Amino acid sequence: MNKVMFSLFAISSVLLLAACGENTNENANESEEIKRLDVEISTEPKSADLDAGEEFTVKAQVSYGQEKVEDADEVRFEFWKKGQESAEHEMIDGEHQSDGVYTMNKKVDEPGVYYVISHVQARDQHNMPKQELMIGTTGENKAVSDKEKDDHHQSPGDGGYSKFKADIKIDDTLKVGKETTLTALLMNGDVPVSEADVRFEIWKMGKEKHTFLDAEEMKEGRYKLDYTFTDSGEYAVNLHVVVGEFHTHKKTEVKVE
């Protein structure tokens, strides 16, 4: 009799544990939510009302899922005028306001087309949306171009780039004053990634000055930048890649002799 009771107790315990395990897995699956870092750029006044000679505010609304991010690791605004892509761009630290909003104030003296990129690092993710600003003197400016919106806000999630991989290739020996080649190899699974916005961010360790330079696509999935280091020391090289709404980056460090 005792053996029968013990057997029934053992079987009941096993079934109970199995049921609890299934419930735990179901709850974990239900609670598991894929979150991504979202950044929306806006201006005050609105982009259609921006005038040369008048100060305006650029805002970055940062969210992670439904959470408004109040403690981003880094928010920096990159700002330049159209036609100055190869020049050193101005980098301005964003000031945290509230409700996940980070801002910078800016004024330009010349009307024209300008670009702003908000570089945001938070929750172990990186996002760097780009926006075009048409700044004039008559108040008849046009809002952000539809093409720019399409380029950066089309597809949800990772846009089909779940198998994306980026590799950085740099010459083994780096010398001051000698031109070197920085190469980015982009693949999505076995498919080369073409027509991406690729740029290298370069800075000397311990220094605030960051240089952003666009890379040129040489062939499918291969992007190149020729660069000359002007000082010896330890440098960080951060590769930024934008394909539609998909954003990623990869960092490496090099030594220049």
The whole-model pTM stands at 0.51
Residue 159 included in any domain = no
Segments forming the whole domain that contains residue 146: 37-152
Question: ∠133-77-197 over CA atoms, to 5°?
Answer: 70
Mean pLDDT over all residues of the chain? 80
- Same domain? 148 vs 43: yes
Measuring CA to CA, which residue among 212, 217, 211 is closest to residue 243?
217
Domain tally, the chain = 3
- Which of 61-65, 115-119, 148-152, 239-243 shows the lowest per-residue confidence on average (mean pLDDT)? 148-152
Encoded tokens for 237: 């090289």
Q: What is the CATH number of the domain that holds 60?
A: 2.60.40.1930
- Same domain? 85 vs 108: yes
Average pLDDT, stretch 47-66?
Answer: 90
- Same domain? 177 vs 133: no
Q: What is the pLDDT of residue 18?
A: 53
- Same domain? 130 vs 42: yes
- Same domain? 219 vs 128: no
Contact at 8 Å (CB) between 42 and 61?
A: yes
Rounded distance between C-alpha atoms, residue 34 and residue 43, angstroms: 29
